[in-house]
Structure 1
Amino acid sequence: MSHPTFATGEQFEIVRGDSRAVITELAACLRLFEKNSVQLTETFGDDQIPPGAVGILLAPWPNRVDKAVWTLNGQEQRLDITELKRGHATHGLLRNTGYRKVEHTESAVSLQAGIFPQHGYPFHLTHRVRYELDNDGDLKVTQSLVNHSAEAAPVALGAHPYLRLGSEDTSGLTLTVPGETYLVTDETLIPRDKAPAAEGVDLRAGREVGSLDMDRAYTDLVPAASGRVESTLSASDGRSVTLWQDETFPYTHVFVTDKYPGQAQAVAIEPMTAPANAFNSGDGLIWLKPGNEFGGSWGISAKVSPTNVRA
């Protein structure tokens, strides 16, 4: 009897109540999260790798390193260029790496992968991640990096989930992000300044996704009553999906695209511990001492039943 094969390797399913998530061996990618059969993240086919970096985890840096070059102790470090159009190194070093299973229960899975010394990044780290479903069927993701090197290593973390709300047209949903400021970028999307979130870029009161063309990071994030920062896609009937992040992640990057396969528009809401080009700017960058661990948590919650129903 033949078994199905997947381009992303082993598939780790976790289930709790009416919630289900699938995480892949490749890049520890969140391939699917659904609640009460309502799909809350974009997905992809068995024979595909994650299009548009959907669902992958980002380490030891999120987003971009300008021209794939940075300086360590006065010595130029050159990373592989992985964004050919702009000439940058993007989304860390684990996008094409298989993760090893550490523990897999019915409602949680823990994975890890090594980052080994290489050109452009001469450090040895382990990236650890745990996906778990809580009592409400919501998803919590905990990421961390451990430094095995003899010297302090520059590190940052991020994730690249795309949210959706079942079969709703994402273009008609309202996106809310509680960022008081945003990062002003040059033509290659490298941050050069920070500015107040004024008209046209302010998402605090919510904007319809269909009106947005965006690849932008927000910061000075205002926590919700829960104490966590919450970014939300909501429908007019009261249903919503929320990405939350703890204080370890002081940046939220929003990417709205019309190029996601099979979708008129898709929205990535990316929690980040540091912004693009942190290896050069130093903004948000952690210098992780030998033997130490750095990490934090983010997750996805949802209200999948309508609350604003007309009689």
Structure 2
Amino acid sequence: MTPSPTARRAATGRQHELRRGGAVVVVTELAAGLRSYARNGVALTETYGDGQIPPGATGITLAPWANRIEDGRWTLDGKVQQLDITEPKFGHASHGLLRNTGYSVLEQTESAVALEAVVFPQHGYPFLLRHRVDYALGSDGGLSVTQTLANDSAASAPYVLGAHPYLRIGDVPTEELTLTVSGRTRLIADQRLIPRSSEPVSGGTDLRGGQPVSSLALDSGYTDLAFEDAADDTPGGPREAHAPRVARATLAAADGRRVWMWQEQTCPYTHVFVTDTFPGRPAAVALEPMSGAANAFNSGAGLGWLEPGASASIRWGIGSEL
């Protein structure tokens, strides 16, 4: 007997649904990805069909590096390491080693899930690590994500952690939204999207006061972010005795509705990707929290090192006013 189409497994594996505070989240087995997030019936992230893999890496988590490593090559203790080239267009190793890996569930409740996958030693990255991703919905429907990388190797391992969510506000065309990012410095990349320098934001690259998405064509990193006291968009944050400080990147509609990605100070970089190639969308905006810059394995900008047995975490999330 041929299984019905509805019985087939999604291309991204098991789907983990979370509900709380009027919000619904779907997290995928593949790449511990954020497949969808809606609050009060309003879609706040881009999504995709059951038979698709995440277009434009939408929603996936990134480890043990985020963004690109130039030519897939870096140096460890004087020896050149060569990674597989996973971005043929530019010839780089892109978005880490777990984007095509399934994550196991460690624990799950109605409003939270914890998943984990192993980075095995391989050519170009000779380390054994575990990447854990915790998704949780707050009482107000706000979403928080904690990513933790643990080093099970006998040697220190380099890393950058990040994620790749695309934000939206329901059916409002994204090109009609206004984008605000607090970064005071923009990374200047070459034609292959590798940062070569940085400069203070100015003119059309200054997003601090908001810029129409329709006027932007960006694939750029921002840093020197403005970190402020956590507000109600951080589930539990403002009620904690020592609430963390967060930076925000916001999309706003003309009717006053807003959605934002917040990130704690463990993520001092926001990569902004404005594209016209997302399937079925004239414009889409990825707002990517990152602990280091693109090509950090070569530049050292924001690169972290984990000692044997040590771990490190980043925390980010999505809030909204609807």
Which TM-score bucket, shorter chain as reference? over 0.9
Unaligned runs of 5+ in 1: 305-311
Give 1:150's aligned residue. 154
Alignment of 1:174-253 (within 5 A): 174-226=178-230, 227-253=245-271
Deviation at 1:238, TM superposition (A): 1.1
Q: Could you give the per-residue CA deviations for residues 261-310 of structure 1, whole angstroms, max 9, x where no partner exists?
A: 00000000000000111001111111100000101200000111xxxxxx
Whole-angstrom CA distance in 1 between matches of 2:304 and 2:221: 19
Q: What CA RMSD, in Å, does the superposition of the two structures yield over aligned residues?
A: 0.9
Give 2:100's aligned residue. 96
Deviation at 1:224, TM superposition (A): 3.2
Whole-angstrom CA distance in 2 between matches of 1:170 and 1:200: 18
Alignment of 1:130-169 (within 5 A): 130-169=134-173
- AA aligned opposite 1:269: L
Count of aligned positions: 304
TM-score, structure 1 normalization: 0.96
Secondary structure of the corresponding residue to residue 200 of structure 1: helix
Secondary structure of the corresponding residue to residue 196 of structure 2: strand
Give 1:309's aligned residue. none
Matched, 1:9 2:13: yes
Whole-angstrom CA distance in 2 between matches of 1:74 and 1:232: 42
Alpha carbons 2:21, 2:138 under 8 Å: kept: no
Matched, 1:276 2:294: yes
Whole-angstrom CA distance in 2 between matches of 1:217 and 1:4: 39
Give 2:309's aligned residue. 291
Matched, 1:262 2:280: yes
Q: Could you give the per-residue CA deviations for residues 146-183 of structure 1, whole angstroms, max 9, x where no partner exists?
A: 00000000011000000000000100100000000010
Q: Could you give the per-residue CA deviations for residues 96-153 of structure 1, whole angstroms, max 9, x where no partner exists?
A: 0000000010000000000000000000000001000001110000001000000000
Deviation at 1:4, TM superposition (A): 3.9
Decide which of 79, 86, 92 is 2:83's aligned counterpart: 79
Identity %: 58
Give 1:307's aligned residue. none
Deviation at 1:17, TM superposition (A): 2.8
Give 2:23's aligned residue. 19
Whole-angstrom CA distance in 2 between matches of 1:124 and 1:295: 17
Unaligned runs of 5+ in 2: 231-244
Q: Could you give the per-residue CA deviations for residues 64-116 of structure 1, whole angstroms, max 9, x where no partner exists?
A: 00011000001010000011011000000000000000001000000000000
Alpha carbons 2:179, 2:251 under 8 Å: kept: yes
Deviation at 1:225, TM superposition (A): 4.1
Question: Following TM superposition, where does structure 1 have runs of at least 4 consecutive aligned residues deviating by more than 2 angstroms?
Answer: 1-4, 224-227
Deviation at 1:51, TM superposition (A): 0.5
Deviation at 1:16, TM superposition (A): 0.5
